[in-house]
Amino acid sequence: MVLGFRIRWAIGLVAALFMVSCTAGSTEPSESVTTPAEPVASPEELTVSPIPEGLARLEGTATVELVVNGERVVVEVDGTQAPITAGNFVDLVERGVYDGTVFHRVVREPQPFVVQGGDPQSTDPSVPVQQLGTGGFVDPDTQEKRLIPLEITPAGAEQPLYSQTFEAAGETAKPAMPHTHGAVAMARSQFPDSASAQFYFALADLPFLDGSYAVFGYVTEGLDVVDAIQQGDVIESAVVTQGLDGLVTE
């Protein structure tokens, strides 16, 4: 009975991370799914795609400081393991996209799960609350929503796996950046390559999310502040305090 409850709880919480699909007309994942009958690749044998071009990326690490409820939350972002995901986040912080955004989803019951925010439209008080969680970053240069691929590096691998969950790719290794308490990861829709600006903090160790969502950093200071965030709390400011020189946007 306890195991069955935990399984149902995990499935329900994973569904809570899904945003409404970011792209109109997207009906299929961008990559084919590996069938169970095919052999499972080891980390050394797994074929990974090169880092996608044309997207911001982070070389090395960076430090981002958020202010929530007047308190500091310091995040170390890792571009070594997640160059595109980390680069996207650092670029959006530097652009001021997260300033004034709201944490629109907080799930603590029946067990601590996540606090999710970063929807750019949440800065507009005229946007209905029920619409929050559907928005992404619209690039002012292209007037198009920026989407980034799912990017997860298997432990021991030299490059990330792109556009597929570990399950779809037949990957059996653990990710290099797991969902431990204080992990920071990208929210997305059911389609792997649909993350844009929304992110979440893990409020507990969440191993059932490993290999399905892209962790790109960890809280190094202010985890108590994160644990106390309530729905509707605002990111008063977000700044890159170290590592901005590692951001490549060309």
In a domain, 215, yes or no: yes
**pTM assigned to the model:** 0.82
The sheet with strand 183-186 has its strands ordered as 103-107, 114-117, 199-202, 183-186, 215-221, 71-78, 61-68, 235-242
Given a cut of 50, whether residue 48 has pLDDT beyond it is: no
In a domain, 44, yes or no: no
Distance from first CA to last CA of the chain, Å, rounded? Answer: 53
pLDDT on residue 50: 57
Helix (H, G, I), strand (E, B), or coil: what is residue 85? helix
The residue type at 192: P
Q: Dig out the tokens for 40 from the structure.
A: 């499972």
Q: Dig out the tokens for 203 from the structure.
A: 């409020």
In a domain, 231, yes or no: yes
CATH of the domain at 60: 2.40.100.10
pLDDT on residue 107: 97
Confidence of residue 13 (pLDDT cuts 50, 70, 90): low
Q: What is the pLDDT of residues 174-221, one digit of tens each?
A: 999 999 999 999 999 999 999 999 999 999 999 999 999 999 999 999
Contact partners, residue 114, CB within 8 Å, separation at least 6: 13, 16, 17, 105, 106, 107, 200, 201, 202, 203, 206
In a domain, 201, yes or no: yes
Using an 8 Å Cβ cutoff, are 112 and 204 in contact? yes
In a domain, 65, yes or no: yes
- In the chain the beta strands, taken as DSSP E runs, fall at 57-58, 61-68, 71-78, 103-107, 114-117, 138-139, 144-145, 151-152, 161-162, 183-186, 199-202, 215-221, 235-242, 247-248
Confidence of residue 54 (pLDDT cuts 50, 70, 90): confident
pLDDT on residue 109: 93
Mean pLDDT of the chain: 85
In a domain, 36, yes or no: no
In a domain, 188, yes or no: yes
Q: Which residue has the higher pLDDT, 100 or 10?
A: 100
Number of structural domains, the chain?
Answer: 1
The number of residues making up the chain comes to 250
CA-wise closest residue to 202 among 221, 179, 186, 224:
179
In a domain, 34, yes or no: no
Q: What is the pLDDT of residues 103-145, one digit of tens each?
A: 999 999 999 999 999 999 999 999 999 999 999 999 999 899 9
**Could you tell me the residue range of the domain that residue 156 belongs to?**
2-19+54-244
